[in-house]
């Protein structure tokens, strides 16, 4: 099976994914019968489709949509927009309408338009997958979708923003806020606009993604009660350590008795014996509260671009399996 791919957004994640496709070329062919070609890329400073310059992301999407390949896949990896999720939502909508499968690691579209994009994809008979939006390549959405049939998610709590977790852990060791943040930017882990991480927006967007996709909430990041972290939290971090505890930026959501869902991102003091309290700076964890499995936890002990690129890769394999099965 041959897949033609358009990368909309060609930054850190997209480039790592492109290298991974190359590294895994033989395994993809042998294990999944899949061969992939990157036929279009789009950025703000230039777009290419079929080796020729093109006008914009939408033209790149139309190009891949017109390909005769078995799979036409648009991978949306533009910058997170926490105000309204655009232009990623429009990119994804036009890809779905043109009959392309869509993969994204961009939280914006799932945080702002999950239900309508999911419904449009279902109607068009294509997949819309977004494993990389939360906890990189560690399975969260595929875990629930593929392995927990009938289970209802009643709520969750997690440490799901690596940048703030790393800064808090560095502050415990006496490092300054700015120094720790600079390290995360140098590693390409922090969002290009770092205020998205430190002001809690990234965590709020992930909270909305989790609540929308796992709990059928209809919320946006603007509905999530949110606090961030700053140099001013250094004293609280230090005082918590004196008590043997850790300060963590915790994202959570729960279904209230009446059925409504409330969600927040807040700095919490947790004992070291708590799964979230004991996490290292580079780790993330999510605890799902369920009806039939009680509490289920997923941990990512360390993460980098490879793990995020892997999420996109895994979604691509999932799409190829689905298409093969439906034939």
Could you list the residues that contact ligand NAP (CB under 6 A)? 8-14, 42-45, 57, 77-80, 87, 105-107, 132, 136, 188-189, 191-192, 305, 308
Torsion (CA) 290, 143, 191, 116 in degrees, nearest 10: -80
Which residue lies nearest ligand NAP, judged by its C-beta?
11
- Whether the Cβ atoms of residue 321 and residue 193 lie closer than 8 Å to each other: no
Minimum separation from the CB atom of position 186 to ligand NAP (A):
12
Comparing CB distances to ligand NAP, the nearer of 87 and 158 is 87
- CA dist 181 and 297 (Å) reads 27
Task: Please say whether the dihedral angle defined by the alpha carbons of residues 314, 318, 323 and 327, taken in this order, is positive or negative.
Answer: positive
Minimum separation from the CB atom of position 86 to ligand NAP (A):
8
Minimum separation from the CB atom of position 189 to ligand NAP (A):
5
Q: What are the C-alpha distances in Å from 173 to residues 45, 79, 276, 281? A: 40, 31, 18, 11
Minimum separation from the CB atom of position 116 to ligand NAP (A):
19
Contact residues for 137 (Cβ-Cβ < 8 A; gap 6+): 131, 303, 306, 307, 308, 309, 310, 311, 313, 314
Minimum separation from the CB atom of position 37 to ligand NAP (A):
20
Comparing CB distances to ligand NAP, the nearer of 96 and 105 is 105
b/e burial code for range 175-212 (CB count within 10 A of at least 16 → b): eebeebbebbeeeebbbeebebbbbbbbbbbbbbbbbb
Comparing CB distances to ligand NAP, the nearer of 135 and 229 is 135
Minimum separation from the CB atom of position 254 to ligand NAP (A):
25
Q: Which helix (H) or strand (E) holds 159?
A: strand 153-159
What are the structure tokens assigned to 65, written together? 């949509």
Comparing CB distances to ligand NAP, the nearer of 233 and 300 is 300
Comparing CB distances to ligand NAP, the nearer of 169 and 209 is 209
Minimum separation from the CB atom of position 133 to ligand NAP (A):
6
- Whether the Cβ atoms of residue 23 and residue 55 lie closer than 8 Å to each other: no
Comparing CB distances to ligand NAP, the nearer of 188 and 282 is 188
Comparing CB distances to ligand NAP, the nearer of 14 and 224 is 14
């Amino acid at each position: 099976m041959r897949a033609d791919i358009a990368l909309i957004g060609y930054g850190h994640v997209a480039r790592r994914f492109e290298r991974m496709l190359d590294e895994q070329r033989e395994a993809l062919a042998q294990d999944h019968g899949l061969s992939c070609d990157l036929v279009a890329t789009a950025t703000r400073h230039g777009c290419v489709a079929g080796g020729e310059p093109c006008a914009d992301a939408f033209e790149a999407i139309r190009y891949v949509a017109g390909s005769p390949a078995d799979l036409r896949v648009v991978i949306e990896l533009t910058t997170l927009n926490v105000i309204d999720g655009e232009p990623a939502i429009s990119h994804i909508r036009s890809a779905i309408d043109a009959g392309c499968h869509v993969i994204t690691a961009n939280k914006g579209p799932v945080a702002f338009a999950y239900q309508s994009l999911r419904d449009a994809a279902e109607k068009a008979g294509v997949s819309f997958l977004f494993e990389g939006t939360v906890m990189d390549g560690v399975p969260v959405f595929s875990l629930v979708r593929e392995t927990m049939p009938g289970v209802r998610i009643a709520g969750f709590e997690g440490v799901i923003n690596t940048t703030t977790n790393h800064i808090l852990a560095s502050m415990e060791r006496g490092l300054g806020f700015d120094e720790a943040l600079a390290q995360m930017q140098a590693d390409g882990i922090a969002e290009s606009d770092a205020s998205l991480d430190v002001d809690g927006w990234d965590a709020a967007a992930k909270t909305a993604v989790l609540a929308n996709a796992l709990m059928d909430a209809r919320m946006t990041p603007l509905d999530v009660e949110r606090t961030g972290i700053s140099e001013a939290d250094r004293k609280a971090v230090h005082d918590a350590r004196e008590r043997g505890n850790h300060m963590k930026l915790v994202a959570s959501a729960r279904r209230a008795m009446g059925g409504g869902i409330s969600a927040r991102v807040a700095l919490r003091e947790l004992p070291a014996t708590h799964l979230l309290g004991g996490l290292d700076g580079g780790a993330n964890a999510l605890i799902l509260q369920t009806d039939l499995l009680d509490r289920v936890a997923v941990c990512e002990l360390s993460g980098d671009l490879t793990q995020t690129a892997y999420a996109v890769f895994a979604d691509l394999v999932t799409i190829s399996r689905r298409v093969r099965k439906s034939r």
